[in-house]
Amino acid sequence: MTSQQFSPSFCAQRLKVLADPSRWAILNLLLDGSKYVWELNEILALEQSLLSHHLRILRQQGLVQAQRDGKAVLYSLAPDVRVRSGDGFNLGCCVLSLKDNCR
pLDDT tens digits along 29-72: 999 899 999 999 999 999 999 999 999 999 999 999 999 999 99
**Domains with residue ranges and CATH for the chain:** 3-93 (1.10.10.10)
Of 68, 70, 66, 96, the C-alpha closest to 81 is 96
pLDDT band (50, 70, 90) for residue 103: very low
Its pTM stands at 0.84
Strands of 72-77's sheet in order across: 35-36, 72-77, 64-69
Contacts of 33 (CB under 8 A, 6+ apart): 76
